[in-house]
Amino acid sequence: MSSPQDSGTASPLEDDEVNFESGDEYEETIRKQRAENAALLASLELSTGGSALVDPEGTKRKRSAADVEERKKKRLSEQRIRAAEDRKKRLKAEAANGGPDLRPARTSARLRGKLPAGMEEENKRIEAEKKEMEFKRAQSKKLLHQEHKLLALLGEDEEAKKKEEALIGALQAVIAREDEEEEEKKSKASLKSSARGGLGDETDEVDTDRALQELQEEIDKMDLLAAKKVTPKRLYTAAWHPSVQRELLFTGDKEGHIGVWEPFAKKAHTSGGDDDETAESKEDLDQVTGDDGIAYTLRIPDDSSPISCLKVPPHNPTKLFSSSYNSTLRKIDLEKGVSEQVFSFSTEDDDDGGDGALLSVFDFQREGDGGATAGGDVIWCGDHRGGVVRIDLREPGAPPGPGAGSARSKRSNGGSGGGGGSNWQRWQLCEKKIGGLSINPMSPHVLSVASLDQSIHLFDTRRLSTLPQTSFIPTTYKHVDPDTLSLLQQDVLEGGAQLGWKKSKQASTSVDFSPDGSKLAAVSYDDVVKVWEMDKEWLDVDVVSGATAGAGTVAKKGRASTSSTKSNATPKKGGLMRYFKKEEGEEVEDLKGTSTSSSKGNGRKGATSSAQSRPTDLLASPLVIPHNNQTGKWLTLFRVRWAPTPTSTSANHFTIGNMRRSIDLYSAEGKYLRGLYDEEWQSAVPAVCVFHPAGGVGSQIGERVMGGSASGRCVLWGRPREGSDGEAA
């Protein structure tokens, strides 16, 4: 067959213009073209249609397997040859050296324990420093649990000895004045009772508008009285001593310092220079100098754990209690000048110092259990793992160590922890850290907590004694036993211990009961302050047994008949405020079936309360007050603190810090009373605010409030003093 090049006519492959008269001719032409194309490909030895030219993978697959195997053998042969040559060289070298080299493979001098020249002394110094650090750590762990005198807390130099003498003198003078004030109070109360002819307790009708007006007038008179840097670091907490003749303030900071500030004490001036005369003239004029009064700083040696809470027992002002992030609770005897440990999750014998929870806040059970103690002997502590610890100082018992409450020991035993120490018990009430805790002063079996898990709870401690305890401390919130937590947070009608709860949009940081127990305030990070009404009859009623119980009554274990209790405890529609709209004289029936006329109390005219009208959730309907609580990382969280109420007609009000560097004052009804601010001496946010417990409208010293900032500076606001002799007029 001739090729297309030899033919004078065009190839069928190149013929693009073909005319067809019928379909048969077209098909015949296609067959011819196909035949010619096949012949052309055959002549070119491209029977596959040229796929081999464009398919390299196909070409590779056609390579001879023998060639590949040959190359593999060649590489292996070369490797064997090189290994044999190396072996011959090694044997030849060993023969020349008299035998094989048995030394280990070469390592660095550092791994062989050899140091370069001149490093021996450096190594000895490092080892000595390491041993010294271990010794100091062991010593500080022992000091943490030991008893200390004020001299050890002030320091060991000569200046510390002088400070100790001055501080002990000031404390003893305050205690002596406090005893005199208590005697005066008792004599005045006795004279008042005799004048009334033994007619019983006086009941004053509360005029809310008048009380608020008197309060506003008192607050408008407040002025900056003193300012001083009391502690070297950021303030975490503060507490007043109840004395009014010689005012004394205690503060705790971030690094374990406890500051003692006597704001109106006069400094000793001995040099007689011009500076001393200037200072004396300023004191005579009652001017704020920024270094007013005298301050002392106490700290356990080698301990820098933050002081999380400070409080003076309400019925025992000779003591000062402090909790710390080193998992200890301590007591300072102001009369003896001695600091001793009250409670700890670990002991000095623990190898790792213990792994107990950090104590974040505590409060005193004002009347103890059933009035057996005047107050200060039963303490409730909240920890950073969501637990609450009850400590009874009247019960003897060793501090909880590896066999009592240590989480390490419980893990090693494989248990979840059942009880506590001989004088303490722990319950897991929340999932995360408890940052706020308060006990109702008039109903001491009612406990309120605020948690990092956004919740605010109200518990009946009479029910806790019948529920499981958890001395095992979870390492994180994920290790909290959900069954135990759910049981404790059940309503009292369902076998739990909860009287009410409220969840905020963000973390809840603080709760506090008012001095008369009629109000509960809480702070949360969603920029609100919540205030609830707390009716004493609602709190004292034992909803399980169906009768009003005393402060120390413990409800019997088991569930009551739900047919009667639930029907009586279920509130009617209309919200919580409907219970305060009863007309005076209207009668309601309690659980016993008796009728009681409406009572006057809780700061409201004609307010009534009974066991029958008690809502199932006491925290259902709060009063919400907008307030900026975004303190951030470098400020102490805001906490509400109520002012004292010297008389039954005093208006409840509270204080809280402000991000605009003022000390805010609010009434219980949410009215903004005043922001205390001084441009010169309040250059930082006073995050820690607290009232003097013996102040208030109608008291001897009037309103007294302190604000402390992150720099450790404290400012004191109050009614201007009439005297300059260090005593209230």
Contacts of the segment 71-74: beta carbons below 8 A, 24+ positions apart: none
* 353: nearest Cα among 308, 300, 395, 407: 407
Q: Given a cut of 70, is residue 557 above it in pLDDT? A: no
Is the per-residue pLDDT at 707 higher than 90?
yes
Task: Provide the pairing of β-strand 446-451 with 455-460.
Answer: antiparallel
| Signed CA dihedral, 334, 336, 341, 342: sign only | negative
Sort 667 into a burial class: Cβ within 10 Å, 0-12 / 13-18 / 19+: buried
- For the chain, the average pLDDT equals 75
Residues 624, 528: Cα–Cα separation, whole Å: 6
Rounded CA-CA distance 40/660 in Å is 96
Tell me the domain boundaries of the chain.
Answer: 553-617
71, containing H or E segment: helix 65-97
17 pLDDT above the threshold of 70:
no
On the CB side of 159, CA atoms within 13 Å amount to 3
> Is the pLDDT assigned to residue 9 strictly greater than 80?
no
Q: Which amino acid is residue 111, in one-letter code?
A: L
Region 330-357 average pLDDT: 75
Which residue is listed with tokens 């190898």?
351
Half-sphere exposure in the Cβ direction for 662 (13 Å, CA): 13
Per-residue pLDDT at 365 exceeds 50: yes
DSSP H/E element including 35: helix 23-43
Q: Residue 381: what pLDDT?
A: 94
pTM of the predicted model as reported, rounded to 2 decimal places: 0.68
Closest CA to 514 of 659, 348, 641: 641
Q: CB neighbours of 202 closer than 8 A, spacing ≥ 6?
A: 192, 196, 648
| Rounded Cα gap, residues 652 and 526, in angstroms | 24
> Residue 450: what pLDDT?
95
CB contact set of 257 (below 8 Å; sequence gap of 6+): 231, 232, 233, 297, 298, 299, 307
635-644 burial, b for 16+ CB within 10 Å, e for fewer?
bbbbbbbbbb
Q: What is the pLDDT of residue 223?
A: 93
pLDDT digits (tens, 9 = 90+) for 396-433: 754 444 334 444 334 333 333 444 557 889 999 999 99
The most confident of the ranges 78-87, 106-115, 543-552 is 78-87
**Under 8 Å CB-to-CB from 194, ≥6 apart: which residues?**
none
Alpha helix segments (H runs only) across 118-258? 120-144, 150-154, 158-195, 208-220
Neighbours of 151 (CB within 10 A): 16
Q: Which pLDDT score is estimated for 49?
A: 52
Q: d(Cα 139, Cα 44) in Å, to the nearest integer?
A: 99
CA 122, distance to chain mean position in Å, is 44
- Alpha-carbon distance of 708 to 694, in angstroms, equals 19
Q: Summarize pLDDT for 203-222 with one digit per residue, the tens.
A: 445 577 888 888 898 999 99
pLDDT grade, residue 3 (50/70/90)? very low
